[in-house]
Structure 1
């Protein structure tokens, strides 16, 4: 029955869901309309906050662009391709391909979500190439679904923020050790429950007919013009292995030194690591530049859409809309249900403002004091926000863009499956939170 529901629902979503950019623009218009209703006397303030906020994520956008391009360039190295091929060859059936994609991506998400973007997309693509019986849109959904586990991972933005001395809510909630958040027994139980049940749910959804197998994207091959200048000094510099390896070693020394000095894993360190390792393995600068150029076609949706969501977050804050949503749900909660209402609120806010750090900046200053008044542990409040933020990532196309860019699919191809999976995640997490926190 679930298979039939998933099949029909996926086709319905594929038919009517617009492009992710259209969704971003629709979200922009929606928050403006709601903002005008909230503050009809201050319309110019909303326009100003949108314009000022539009550029807030420029550094983050560039980090994501480099993450994808350096990761894809690294994946094109022959030795890396052989490793991926060997791993992908272990999955002999479609169900094995779905489970392997989910588990490999889950492991990467637990370590670092930025790493998972590249790892999940590439393993899905490699398994899709070798298993024509696997429904490729569902395979990609398997790579993206573990985004809901990010809340309990080692790079949980909210969990790490509240554990950092000097964080912006320290005066209200103090410094919360990770033993009370991402390593709390309740967090681990929810994590394991999702890790075990989601693959089962995915297999039950898997289509038996109408399989869409992986199709390599059409690429424009540049015609290389052979001439006598190929042996020129300039050509030799481009193709020598010395410069590429030396540059890569410089970067690797920096990475190793940072980890020796207890630096946390973040986007910047991952990007330098991917770049340096890619230079070493590609050897020549010319070969790496070629691989980097081929990866460049995948990242245009990110450059286009990320600034819009930055503007949306700014309008949510300046209009008071986010505050109204949060206060409305908090007002009907009790001590026993506060974490549940916080979870639901975070899920709703995340649809409009899909950024863990940005959402905590909006929600934390309101949610934590409200919880403290009811006697709720601020660590539980923080994790409820983190789980809610991760939950609706499944139905918010913002974080799916990097993976979709790598595999060459449209958001409508996977969203039908992701929406159904989000229903299961929401129900299971809500029930468990009643007992484990």
Structure 2
């Protein structure tokens, strides 16, 4: 860490508005923001108290905690493999060469941070997982440049912007994907919403305009909030190990290691995987297929095998990636417990904390205020249950029934939920964990910069949700043809 920085009075004069906020919150968070595990544990306690306040019994709350603790195990493993497979692909010789070429493009520290933000948000429109891992490894590559004193905290926050700004407005949107596929919709939800194609959600001009505005604004905030010169804290200042080694380049030391350095087994395994992938993508909508985390992880593990060529290099990459998923493995169960306590522990009136919150927001909304009220509701629930759109199944019946009753465009109601759900990601460590593992830092290191984005995004998103809702007419649910 640097021994000295500018004096407080000098810093106030030289720091811009956004940089002052980012650095100030960052300095505060480094002292007071807890580790992401503590953050999740506190959320568990608060939700448990909230459930008890609705009249739920201690037994039902504890039961929901225990039942929910393991409810995210499949998703936890999927998320762990997102980080592992992304890391394995990105450290392979071909991908590393591409990342190094991209890392050489920025000419200044602020340009580097803004470039990372652009890559992150652009990729997230297609796949949030690719955005997280690729952007994180791009930050590490830029940080290795000796000619550029890039603030590692600001760059790391920029790598996360895809999850906090644009992912839910693109093809990664679980809610939009679900509503467009009648075979995936529960009948109870299908009867309320019907089928809502992409043309009425993510491909609305209003939605695409919102995504474009958020990208431009986020890039501006990233540029103006990035500390430069003596104020910048580089990866070296933070003690981050950026070294890259290739132990597989030496070759086998004894006959029994020959297959570890030969591509024969790699080619056979990849050939089998390629046949399965061809069948998967040829029999399904390609966009829908890649949106499955199982398919995504399988694709990238196969690609990782192929690009690393030798099993030895592939295994070395796997071993180095595993420490990055420690937070995912121990913290995601807590979020599963939170979700169950909110949606399973019934109070004295027979309904859950989640239902009470939904009912409150629905009760105060009308056709004009629906977008803002539901946007706030989505953000609040997204902070407590950061599901990446998965909780849409739980919350959609309340939200979409209200939209029908108030004659709000159903496609825009989905986008209201999507756009607002991304907001809490900017300060909730849940989605940060795979990225932070790759970057080798803590949530407290980046939250000052993501919080600065949140301050700008929140009023901007709510304003656009309200304004664009006025341009869309209500249409009755479109039921699928038998």
Moved more, 138-147 or 318-327: 318-327
Q: 1:404-428: per-residue Cα shift (whole Å, max 9, x none)?
A: 0000010000001111211211111
Query: Are 1:9 and 2:35 matched, yes or no?
Result: no
Please state whether the residue corresponding to 2:234 is helix, strand or coil: coil
* Other-structure match for 2:224: 204
Query: Are 1:44 and 2:59 matched, yes or no?
Result: yes
Contact 1:115–1:270 (CA under 8 A) maintained in structure 2: no
* Other-structure match for 2:266: 244
Query: Are 1:136 and 2:159 matched, yes or no?
Result: no
Contact 1:349–1:359 (CA under 8 A) maintained in structure 2: no
Contact 2:99–2:138 (CA under 8 A) maintained in structure 1: yes
* Other-structure match for 1:97: 112
2-structure distance, mates of 1:10, 1:19? 14
What is the TM-score with the length of structure 1 in the denominator?
0.94
Contact 2:144–2:242 (CA under 8 A) maintained in structure 1: no
Query: Are 1:375 and 2:411 matched, yes or no?
Result: no
* Other-structure match for 1:83: 98
Contact 1:394–1:419 (CA under 8 A) maintained in structure 2: yes
TM-fit CA distance, 1:217: 2.1
* Other-structure match for 1:173: 193
TM-fit CA distance, 1:132: 3.4
TM-fit CA distance, 1:219: 8.2
More helix by share: 1
Superposed CA RMSD in Å reads 2.1
The unaligned stretches of length 5 or more in structure 2 are: 1-16, 346-351, 470-482
The unaligned stretches of length 5 or more in structure 1 are: none
* Other-structure match for 1:18: 34
TM-fit CA distance, 1:222: 12
Q: 1:280-318: per-residue Cα shift (whole Å, max 9, x none)?
A: 222222221122111111110000001110110010112
Q: 1:155-204: per-residue Cα shift (whole Å, max 9, x none)?
A: 21111111111402101110111111111111111101001111111111
What is the TM-score with the length of structure 2 in the denominator?
0.86
Q: What is the number of residues matched between the two proteins?
A: 433
TM-fit CA distance, 1:84: 0.8
Contact 1:102–1:199 (CA under 8 A) maintained in structure 2: yes
Residues 421 and 220 (structure 1 numbering): CA distance in 2 closer, same or farther, change over 3 Å?
closer
2-structure distance, mates of 1:318, 1:311? 10
Contact 1:132–1:213 (CA under 8 A) maintained in structure 2: no
Contact 2:80–2:328 (CA under 8 A) maintained in structure 1: yes
Contact 1:252–1:277 (CA under 8 A) maintained in structure 2: no
Moved more, 383-392 or 402-411: 383-392
2-structure distance, mates of 1:282, 1:303? 26
2-structure distance, mates of 1:311, 1:328? 23
Query: Are 1:183 and 2:203 matched, yes or no?
Result: yes
TM-fit CA distance, 1:393: 0.8
Query: Are 1:296 and 2:328 matched, yes or no?
Result: no
Contact 1:144–1:400 (CA under 8 A) maintained in structure 2: yes
